[in-house]
Structure formats: structure tokens, C-alpha cells
Structure 1
Amino acid sequence: MSCSNSTNKLIYPGFSSAFTRGFQSDSNSSCCTYKHPTQTGVYTRTSQACRWSANHRVRFNHLAMLSIRTLTRRYFPFQCRALVELNLPFPDLPKIIPDGVVLLPFSSGTTGRPKGVELTARAMYACGARVASLEPDADYTLAVLPFYHVAATMFFHVTIFKRMTLIVLPRFEPGSFLRVIEKFKLDTVNVVPPIIQFLAKHPLVDKYDLSTMNRLGSGADPLGDKLVEAARNRLGLPVLQSYGMTELAGTVTHSSATEYRDGASGKLLPNTELRVRCLETGVDLPTNRQGELLIRSPGAMKGYFDNPNATREIFTDDGFICTGDVGYIDQDGYIFIVDRLKELIKYKGHQVAPAEIKDVVNSHPQVADSCCVRSIDLATGEIPKAFVVLKFHGDEPLTPEVLMTYVASKVAGFKRVDAIPKSAAGKILRRKLQIQQDKKVASIRSML
């Protein structure tokens, strides 16, 4: 079964049914794809990327022309109430194979080529059950992340374990997002850093009553301390971070309103092991020392689909996954994420984390968003370069010189951009800006 939707309420029951019937959900090798009629553009791009056959497309387009109501009348003539009244015997469910692959999402690809990630029934259940055991009870929860993102898919299991109603927004639209929180009096909202940025700085937030919220969760990318402080001061509630990756079925850490630490991504979930490996020597490091994070977890993937070489590269001999993320664990067990290993900038022998520079830049009141990438200086080698999106209001325009002074950091220069490129899941697509900058550097070198 293949799902090419972004976020649609019909995906939830479809996925749950396929899971219990033993089907595998993926986005590449199915013979027929079902999609909401509003997603035609998404399907066209997906079908080209996946090289789907003309047969696949014809069958898809025929279905896409039918409305959901027509499909319901034609293929599902009974309403749910009528089916219950028939008192039919409960069907025999197939035995679920714990190590069978049930989900094939793709890794984000923000630093490399996307790969199919084989997640088993055991991994999905384990991750969902562990998170559900730590989440507060609630009547409703909100789905904002696109359902192809593993964190959103994993949360299907959390809602079932917790018996919560899942409210689905097709996309993030500021007014709708805030209205849902106000109308359903949500206690907890789990979002991504760009939405935290919106909640911390956008004037529209003041027009809605968000007083029922007691906690704000964030994942997909690390949050800077300045942004956490801005959101907390404005909303008066804790901002709780978690850490995970597609290869680990979503998340491996958790924060609670009574147990969290500023800047940390929480503590390890139950039955999860962590090693911090030195970037230079490869030896394991003690607490409060930065290195690459290695994780062993019951939520770990089986491997990369049809890619044994990549599978061997990411696993250690004893079953730990090399995350490619730099961080550390403190003496109390809190995990801190510094940045991606491949994105660290080597400036005069020092390792500079782009996320730290981004945090400082974003703390300026006239900055709406920013991203930091690697650039080249002929005298010093690698240097960080910031792309900045400014707020547009009546204040004096912010100049690069003023911002340089504010940041008080080694920044080569600033370039204003209209928007920072992000995936639908909220991850900054730093590689797009990096490619743009690499082309500029290559052009300069060709003239020397």
C-alpha cells in the first residue's frame, strides 16, 4: 500500500487497517496509489521520481476523479452504524510477524540521498508504546506533521494506546492551527521548530486564547536556547524537546513538564542505550563530552531497502546505529544535540556548529528566520555564512553591519533571502543553500 499524501484524515484508518492486515506501507513499489484529489501536483512529481508505469497512473487518475463521497457509495454502501447492527462475526486477523517490515518511509535526505527505511511491526509498536507510557492523558491531540514523516506515523500508535481523538490539519495554516488549539482546549501540542518560531514571534498568536496549553513539544530539528526562551516567555509554558530519526522509528528521547532541562532533548526512552563516540579517536566518551551519538533501541530499523552497503555503514557490529549527530549526555542523563556531524564548519581548526550561530541570529527581534551554511575564505579556509529573513514592519531596517555587531561572532557576511527552504516536515534543507554557496565559491575560484 502506498500513500503519497501530505496530511489527510483518510490516511490514519487506512494505515491502521493495513498494519493489522499485514500489509506494508511504502511510497515506491505499489501497483496502485490512492490519493486525495487535491494532491494531484504531489502525485505527478512523485510518480516521475519513482518511475511509476503508465498503468499505475491511469488507474490512479481514474480514482482521483471520483470524490470520496462517490467512492463511499460505490464501494462501501454500509454506514458504520449499519454495519454494527448487522452483528457480523469478528474477522480472523492474520498473525503479525514481529520482524516483518510494515512501513517503508524515506530518510529525510537533508544531508544526503534519501533511502527507504525498513521499519518492522516490533519497532513501530515498541516506539509507540514507550512514548504513550510517558505522554499525559488527553481527549484530543493535533496532527500537524505530514503523515509520510515517521514521527507522525508513529504517533498513530500513541493515539490508539492513549485512546485519544486525532485532529488532522491538511497543512499548517496559522489561523486554523490556533483556532483548533482554542476550540478543543488542547493541553499539549507537538510541532516542529518553524512553528515554535511562529508561536514565539508572530503577532497573530495574541488574538487567540491558548491558556489551556500546559506544554509545547518540539522535534525534527534542534531548538536554540534563545528560541526556547522566547517561546516560553510569551506562552508561559515549558518547551519540551525530543530527539529521534527515521531509522529509529521516530524518537528515542522524551521530556515531560515535570522533568526537562533547557536546551536538552530529554532523557532516553526505556530500553534505549546510548554511546557518545569521539570524533577523532572513535573511543567512547564520558558525560559532558561532545561526540557522535550512537543508539541501540527496540525501535531500530531492519535496514535500508535494497541497500546493503548503506545498512552496513550505519550499524556497528554490536547493533548500534551511527546517527551522524553530534551531542552529549550530562551527569543527570539529559541528552543535548549540537548539530549534524557532516554540517560542522572547521574554522581555524575549531569546529563551529551552524545551529549555534542560527540560534544567536534568530534571537534578534528583527529576524524572522535564518540558516547557517559553510562558505570558503581564501585566507582562513571554511567560515560560517548566514542567510537571513527579516521581519517587515515599521522599525528601522536591519543592516548586515548592525546584525554583525549584535551577533558579535565570526560571520563572513549576510545575504537576505525571502524564505529558508524547509521540507514539509519542518526540517531546514540546508543542503540547498549549501549547493548555492558552493557554486558561488567555485565561480570565485575559477576567476583566480
Structure 2
Amino acid sequence: MTSDNRISYGGKVNESLDKARSFGEYCYNRLKKLGDSVLFVNGVTSQEVTASQLLSQSIRVAECLKHYGVKRGDSISICCENRVEVAYVMFGIFFVGAKCFPLNPTYTEGELLHASSLSQPKIIFASYQTFDNIKRVAKHQFVEKVLVFGDECTDSNSFNDFLRNPNVESKKRFYCSPQSMMENISLILCSSGTTGLPKGVQWSEYSTWFNASFNMLDPIPNECRFSVSPWTHGFGCFTVIRTVVHGIKLVYLPKFDENTFLSCIEKFNVTTLMVVPPLLVMLSKSSAVKHFNTSSLKYAISAAAPLRSEVLNEMRRQIPNLTVRQYYGMSEGGVFTVQTNEFCKSGSVGILRSGVYAKVVNIESGELLGKNSPGELLFKGPGLMKGYVGDINSTKSTVDKDGWLHSGDVGFYDENNEWFIVDRLKELIKYKGFQVPPAELEALLLSHQSVKDVGVIGIPDDLAGELPMAFVVRQGSVTEKDIVDFVADRSSPAKRLYGGVRFVTEIPKNPSGKILRQVLRQMVNQHKSKM
């Protein structure tokens, strides 16, 4: 705690930059030191990439980028599925001091046009699968070149030809560009877009290092991590960066397949899963788990969205040797809290990480609140963004004049300084003056044996303000009445499903697993317009 015991502090930062003059130089030095250590393993092909190989390829990317005139301040985009070339390009961008701007490969043409207009990338690296949409984005004047990964591309847009350019000389000694680490932007991440179009979140070199450098777990002998999260999303992107910063082997998949995922755990003796909640929800209800040897597993790191206690209980039943650790953060501020041990309470997202300040304020008045008093969570620290690209007004409304980032999340901390997330401020359902957290109803519904997945929203009502409504993916023959009665028997009057239940085949979510409630609302409006 600080001098005001209602403001919490996570303590001094112990990690060191080792006198590196830029984040690129820091990564360069790490790769040199790691040498022949295996860093990346393709779970499908078993192809391994060592630190030395990654360094060599990233240097070549950096040399070729410089040849094409890329310099500090330029933006370079990557839009493709998980593949090791993403790491080559990402660290090559860091080496030259440019801005790495990952783009979601599942974006539609319109979404790509919006996202690319934020940062205006000079070069876009794509895959054969994303090339058609990227070609349309490339019509903008700011895009000078599109390069395509893989052997499918045989024309002048080939990434392989880009690396083999005979006009680019490989120097005996490569030097990373020195930068002002506090000011130079190294990374631009698209915000989650749960309440509207994504914004471009700018990270300085120092904040990138700060959020990659802390230890997520105590050392594990022969640790092997496994991730299927998109590397173009914040959680997946930092999983790649942490692989280099901490020198821990990472198994990855180009795309998710349940049997391949489970077989990789067995084949590579995976110790740590880097996952988002939907994958754990799937595993908790999967009948396939028992057919694979998962005894090597020790931890699952869950981030990017809240994980319900019902899912945790199911995971303990499915894989008893697995301990799930939750981390809480956001694109605009990095990681705020960590679960440091197994003694954290169920539902807690842990304690503040080092270097982070936090406080809770009254939603209406802004008054500073104390322990066990829910309100909006505010954070301050070296991991905060530099602001949204080209959007000063949104930046000012998110980070106030005193440097506090307004998270938009409702939560509280307890007498042990553990932090709890109640729900998104903008997602609270207002029923007759009561505030109903959708996440609470979703957690309750997931405990029903016939509910596979669920999303809850509030629908407008003239008398009540909003009525809670559930979208349910069912397994079995459960009816709407069964669901409504199940909730009514277990919740207070304000938290019942007065808006009804609609059965759907899937719940729309972004790549990090957050429910896209605006899509659910659109589904309601479309249904009304047809009536």
C-alpha cells in the first residue's frame, strides 16, 4: 500500500534491461545468449527453431527491411495464422526500431481496411490464406509492398525471395538501431473491439519489455509451453515475445484442432498451457481428454477474459495435476494482476504485479473506495500504453490527467489484497435500478449440465430499463423453461431471465475469448425487424 492505504502498489520492479539501448538490442542479446536452445516447435510438423536460427533469420529480415527504406517510426503489419515466420518478422521489426502492427487474420475486408487505416503500414506480411483480403487493403497509397509467406507464392511477392534478394548485403556484424525506449513505439495492438471498432493501442519499447519481462511462474525443470492463441492478438503476441525474453520452449499450432492439441501435450511433454478461457471451457467438457496422457501438465496460464469458477472445478476433475493461474490485464495497460500461488481464493485474479499501482473508485462520484467495495478499477504504471493511434479524445477519456488508466471494469480487492473482477462497466445490465453482472449469470448457467456455452445481455424494456436475456449453446434436450426455472431457483429476483432464452449454435467471441455482446444485440434487433 501507499501513504493512502486505499491505493495499492505491487512493489518494486526487479527485472533488468541489462544496459540494452533498445528493446531490439535487448532481444538480440537474449538470442545470442540462448544460442542452440530450441525456442519454437511446430506441433504438426515437429519442426524446431533454435535461438541462433531465429536470430539469423530476424537479422536478415531487418537487413531487407532497411533495404526497402524502413526506418524508425514506420509501421509494418503481419496478417497470418501462427507460423514461425511471424517471429522472424516481429523481431526483425524490433531490430530496426520500426512499429510492429499485427492484424487479425480472421478480419473481414472492412475490418482490415479500418485497422490498417489506423497505423498505415508501409509493408504487410501475409499468408496465402489472407492474401486476397490484404490485396484490397494494399490499394491504399500508404502500403508500398505486400509479402506472402510460404511456398504457395511464386511471384515477386514471395517472402522467400524477399530474404534472398541479392542486392541486400549481409554484414559481418549487425547493429540494432538505438532508440529512446520510453518514447519509441515498438508495438501497436488492436483493442478487443467488444464495444465498437478496434482502436490502435501504442506500446513503447519500455512498456513492451516491462510486460514481457516478469516471471509468470516459478522455474519448472524442462519447461515446455504450448499455445494456440493467435500470435496477432495481444496474448499470443506476448507469448512469442516472452519465449525469447525467458528462453522457454514453445510448441504452437497454426490452427486449433482438439485431437491435435491433446496429442501434442502427450508427444512433447507439455508442462504449461498458454490459453484463453474458451479453450479451457472446451477441455472441461471434452470426452476426448481421457484418451490422452496429460500427466506432464503442471500449469495453465489463462488470460484475456475472466474464467468462471465452475470451469475451474471441471478442469480439476478432468486433469487433477493441472493448476490454473489467471492473469488480469488489458490491451491498454498490459498485465495488472497475477495469481502467484495456489492459495489465491477461487474467483480471484491474484495480487498486483510489481511496478503497478491500483485503486477502486465509485462509479458515479469517482470517490476513492476501500476494501471489499466494488467500483471501477484504475491502474497506473510503466506498462501503460502511449495512447491510441490518431485518437487524442479516446486517449484522454481512458487515461486521465494524473496518469490513471480507467479500465472500464468493475471489481474490488479484499483484506489480503487479492483482486476480483465483477464485470465490464459498460456491460452491466440495469434492471429496475439494480446492476446485474452478465458474467454472474453466465457462470450460473454454465453449471447446468446441458449448457455448453452461454452469453447474457440486457435487452431494452420501457418499464424495467433492461431485461436479462441468455443466448445458450445446449447439449441435450433442455428447454427454455428449464433454463429460466434453473436461474430463478438460484438467483435473486433482479437476476432472472425476464428477457427469455434463445438457443444458438455458437456464442460470438473475439480471438481472446471475450463475448461480442454487440453481436448478440444485433441478433435481437434483426429478429425484431423480421417480426
Place the TM-score, normalised by the shorter chain, in its bin.
0.7 to 0.9
CA pair 137-290 structure 1, distance change in 2 beyond 3 A: farther
Alignment of 1:174-253 (within 5 A): 174-236=258-320, 237-249=322-334, 251-253=335-337
CA pair 55-242 structure 1, distance change in 2 beyond 3 A: closer
- 8 Å CA contact 1:132, 1:158 repeated in 2: no
CA RMSD of aligned residues (A): 2.8
User: Which residue of structure 2 aligns with residue 39 of structure 1?
Assistant: 130
The separation in 2 between residues aligned to 1:211 and 1:295, in whole angstroms, is: 38
Q: What is the CA distance between 1:40 and its match in structure 2?
A: 3.3
Q: What is the CA distance between 1:177 and its match in structure 2?
A: 1.1
The separation in 1 between residues aligned to 2:352 and 2:509, in whole angstroms, is: 27
Is 1:66 the counterpart of 2:164? The answer is no
TM-score by length of 1: 0.88
Is 1:382 the counterpart of 2:462? The answer is no
Alignment of 1:20-419 (within 5 A): 20-26=95-101, 27=103, 28=116, 29-40=120-131, 44=133, 52-53=139-140, 56=143, 59-60=146-147, 65-66=153-154, 72=160, 75-76=163-164, 89-98=172-181, 99-131=183-215, 136=220, 138-236=222-320, 237-249=322-334, 251-392=335-476, 397-408=477-488, 409=491, 410-412=496-498, 413-419=500-506
CA pair 293-58 structure 1, distance change in 2 beyond 3 A: closer
Q: Size of the alignment, in residue pairs? A: 428
User: Which residue of structure 1 aligns with residue 61 of structure 2?
Assistant: none
- 8 Å CA contact 1:215, 1:257 repeated in 2: no
Give the % identical residues: 29
- 8 Å CA contact 2:123, 2:145 repeated in 1: no
The separation in 2 between residues aligned to 1:262 and 1:273, in whole angstroms, is: 23
User: Which residue of structure 2 aligns with residue 11 of structure 1?
Assistant: 86
Structure 1 counterpart of 2:173, which letter? F
TM-score by length of 2: 0.75
CA pair 108-97 structure 1, distance change in 2 beyond 3 A: same
The separation in 2 between residues aligned to 1:223 and 1:286, in whole angstroms, is: 25
Q: What is the CA distance between 1:231 and its match in structure 2?
A: 1.5
User: Which residue of structure 2 aligns with residue 423 of structure 1?
Assistant: 510
Q: What is the CA distance between 1:268 and its match in structure 2?
A: 1.1
CA pair 247-134 structure 1, distance change in 2 beyond 3 A: farther
Q: What is the CA distance between 1:211 and its match in structure 2?
A: 1.3
Q: What is the CA distance between 1:234 and its match in structure 2?
A: 1.9
CA pair 273-75 structure 1, distance change in 2 beyond 3 A: closer
Q: What is the CA distance between 1:377 and its match in structure 2?
A: 3.5
Structure number with higher strand proportion: 2
Q: Which moved more, 1:322-331 or 1:435-444?
A: 435-444
The separation in 2 between residues aligned to 1:51 and 1:280, in whole angstroms, is: 45
Runs of 4+ in 1 over 3 A off after TM superposition: 54-64, 70-78, 131-139, 256-259, 438-444
Please list the CA deviations of residues 34-72 of structure 1 after superposition, one character each: whole Å capped at 9, or x if unmatched: 22223335xx1x565x5743895985579972399x754
SS of 1:154 mapped into structure 2: helix
Structure number with higher helix proportion: 1
Q: What is the CA distance between 1:314 and its match in structure 2?
A: 0.5
User: Which residue of structure 1 aligns with residue 77 of structure 2?
Assistant: 2
Structure 2 counterpart of 1:381, which letter? G
- 8 Å CA contact 1:129, 1:157 repeated in 2: no
Unmatched tracts of structure 1, length 5 or more: none
Please list the CA deviations of residues 315-346 of structure 1 after superposition, one character each: whole Å capped at 9, or x if unmatched: 12211110101111111121111111001001
Structure 1 counterpart of 2:393, which letter? N
CA pair 24-58 structure 1, distance change in 2 beyond 3 A: closer
User: Which residue of structure 1 aligns with residue 521 of structure 2?
Assistant: 434
Structure 1 counterpart of 2:327, which letter? S
- 8 Å CA contact 2:126, 2:146 repeated in 1: no
The separation in 2 between residues aligned to 1:123 and 1:67, in whole angstroms, is: 38
- 8 Å CA contact 2:128, 2:148 repeated in 1: no
